[in-house]
Amino acid sequence: MDKLNFGNGLLTPPATILPVLHKLKDSYLLWFQYYQILPKTHRYSLGMRVDTTMIEAVEAIAAAAFLSRGEKLPFVRRAIQKIDTVKILLMVLWEAKSLEDKPYIALSEKLLGVGKMLGGWQGQIMRQNSPGAKPGEK
């Protein structure tokens, strides 16, 4: 599997995923690099929990992307909850000196962006689902 070919001659898949999902995927890939070098005392406890929770956030966002407007909100809220949990767990890893300053800052900044995007999406859904909203209104 030297090269990936997605039919368009590119080595990367076409950008067909939601921007928030793309940003979270990038955050996860960065996390995964750090996860592999965490001290064993935290890799199989807090580290594993961060890993699982990030994957659960990806699942919630992916599910929301394919649901109707009225069904999205619980999944977006679940993703926000998961991202907030990851931020707290990363803070614990950092305070326990299992995650150095630079990785903690890099991950926190990426997750802050994901959180802002999810918050915006939640606000948009709430406006669209409000009783006074007109069909097609943003």
Tell me, rounded to whole angstroms, the distance of Cα 59 from its chain centroid: 9
Q: What does pTM read for this prediction?
A: 0.83
Give the chain's mean pLDDT. Answer: 89
Give the gyration radius of the chain's Cα atoms. Answer: 17
Q: Which residue has the higher pLDDT, 10 or 116?
A: 116
Q: What gap in Å lies between CA 79 and CA 109, rounded to an integer?
A: 17
Token pair 């076409």 is found at 14
pLDDT confidence band for 15 (50 / 70 / 90): low
Query: What is the per-residue pLDDT across 57-85, written as a single tens digit (0 to 9) for each?
Result: 999 999 999 999 889 999 999 999 999 99
Pair 104, 6: CB distance under 8 Å: no
Q: Domain ranges for the chain, please list them.
A: 19-129
Pair 30, 110: CB distance under 8 Å: yes
Which CATH fold topology does 19-129 show? de novo design (two linked rop proteins) (1.20.1440)
pLDDT confidence band for 136 (50 / 70 / 90): low
Q: Is the pLDDT of residue 14 over 80?
A: no
Q: What gap in Å lies between CA 70 and CA 45, rounded to an integer?
A: 37
